[in-house]
Chains A and B, each alone.
Chain A
Amino acid sequence: MRVRAGLWAVLAVVVALSGVWAAHRGRVAFPVIAMAPGHCILKTAEMRRTHMMLLRAVREDIVRRDARDTRFRLTHCVACHVERTASGRFVPVNAPGQFCASCHAYVGVRLDCFDCHAAVPARKGFTAGTALQAAFRIPRALRGSGGQGPGGQP
């Protein structure tokens, strides 16, 4: 009898604790995936899993192998995914809650690209339109749908 009461007590504690845990589950905000208008160069799911590998491979090509004509460029990512305020100013993609920062905060991975790289597009010259031109060199089958994204869920 006493054993059974003990077991119930343990169970009650476990249930209570899981309630506390559940209440705290939302403490890291879900990422905000602001989808750029038009086509992303890869399907969302693919980009989510592989962007870090792509960027690492491509940085070698660009910096060391003189192959600047590549589809995956950090400047293109920034040009499409940067947020513009109503007054037309750019919000850096690594600012809290922005495209890059919100996911990286959620998964707890330090984002250090923008210690060196510009987190906003150049005022002149490079625009989302230029970035999208590059997208049309991507085989159609690999192209993401863009615009919608699966509900902004991680």
Chain B
Amino acid sequence: MSDGSQTMEPRDEEGGGHEPDALRRKLLKLAGAAVALTLAPGVTVLARDLVVKGSGGRKAPVRYGLLIDANACKTGCDACVRACQDYNGLSHDPGPDNAQWIRKVTITNPKTGFSRSFPVMCQHCENAACVDVCPTGASFRRPDGIVLVDKHRCIGCRYCLMACPYKARSFVARNVSDQKPWAPRGKGTAEGCTMCVERVEAGKLPACVAACERAGHKGMVFGNLHDPKSAIAKRLSEVATTTIRADLGLGPSVHYRGI
């Protein structure tokens, strides 16, 4: 996998600050891990995902992720986008300040004409830029890997909108009414894809994934990346996938096939 080779310290699961001492300890621990994982002189395998602080070296039991198959995604279909808007009470209008938690993107290679259309949403990064820059701790990563905005803490500074390379965050600039009970949102706060955290906790699929399935395209798989028996983990082990801008080292939980 193209994003598995970089060395990054695992994120502190509480999203807390990096005190110099704690950081040094973590780096030392990583150095130890690197030795343990050296396969041959000069060949070191170090996957960012592997170690969770305080877990005794075990993987976090859950890391939710998505696999989006651009080969199955239909150009012109926006079932996932609509479903997200309906479920979370967002506007269908593409107004200049309307929230976009998920959007359809089309890429084309001008040399060959190869073109693919696929949805992009918050990538629920392991080393999330939004979490790094947030001055209040409002942007945070849950132990199950879902990155959220705690709107009780958000001061609306919009640093995260600037920092996120995937343009996954939106800012609510006007008063909102008719919110859904499961998706509180209001003026002056940042927001983004929540992976439908309420549905996920109730054992359901995120709204976009369910809609893609209903549309018969089967372009999205949702599941626990850390469970080898899950559909998503199996699929990831079978087909070639990548993450968008893997070079940035943010470690997205959203994987793509066919781009």
Contact = CB atoms under 8 A, between A and B. Distances in A.
Contacts of B142: 64, 66
Given A63-B148, A63-B150, A66-B142, A116 B184 contact: yes
A135 to B, nearest CB: 18
Among A68, A118, A122: residue with most chain B CB under 10 A: A118
Interface residues of B, number: 22
A121 B180 CA distance: 8
B144 A66 contact: yes
Contact of A63 (B143, B152, B180): B152
A36 B127 CA distance: 46
A118 B201 contact: no
A118 to B, nearest CB: 4
A118 B144 CA distance: 26
Contact of B181 (A64, A68, A115, A117): A117
Interface residues of A, number: 14
A148 interface: no
Contact of A116 (B140, B148, B186, B198): B186
B63 interface: no
A59 B184 CA distance: 12
A64 B16 CA distance: 12
B185 A116 contact: yes
Interface string B178-191: 11111011110100
Given A63-B148, A66-B144, A116 B176 contact: yes
B143 A115 contact: no
A126 interface: yes
A126 B184 contact: no
B35 to A, nearest CB: 34
A138 to B, nearest CB: 21
Given A116-B184, A116-B189, A64 B140 contact: yes
Contacts of B201: 66, 68
A68 B179 contact: no
A59 B179 CA distance: 17
A115 B187 contact: yes
Contacts of A63: 148, 150, 152
Interface in B126-150: 140, 142-144, 148, 150
A145 interface: no
Nearest to B142: A66
Nearest to A122: B181
Nearest to B187: A115
B17 to A, nearest CB: 16
Contacts of A75: 181-182
Interface string A59-99: 10001101010000001001000000000000000000000
Contacts of A68: 198, 201
Contacts of B218: none
A75 B180 CA distance: 10
Nearest to A56: B152
24 contacts: A59-B152, A63-B150, A63-B152, A64-B140, A64-B142, A64-B150, A66-B143, A66-B144, A68-B201, A75-B181, A78-B181, A115-B175, A116-B151, A116-B176, A116-B184, A116-B185, A116-B186, A116-B189, A117-B181, A117-B184, A118-B178, A118-B181, A118-B184, A122-B182
Interface of B: 140, 142-144, 148, 150-152, 175-176, 178-182, 184-187, 189, 198, 201
Closest 7 CB pairs of A and B: A116-B186, A116-B184, A118-B181, A115-B186, A117-B184, A118-B179, A75-B181
Given A117-B179, A118-B181, 17 more contacts: A59-B152, A63-B150, A66-B142, A66-B144, A66-B201, A75-B181, A75-B182, A78-B181, A115-B175, A116-B179, A116-B184, A118-B178, A118-B179, A118-B184, A121-B181, A122-B181, A126-B181
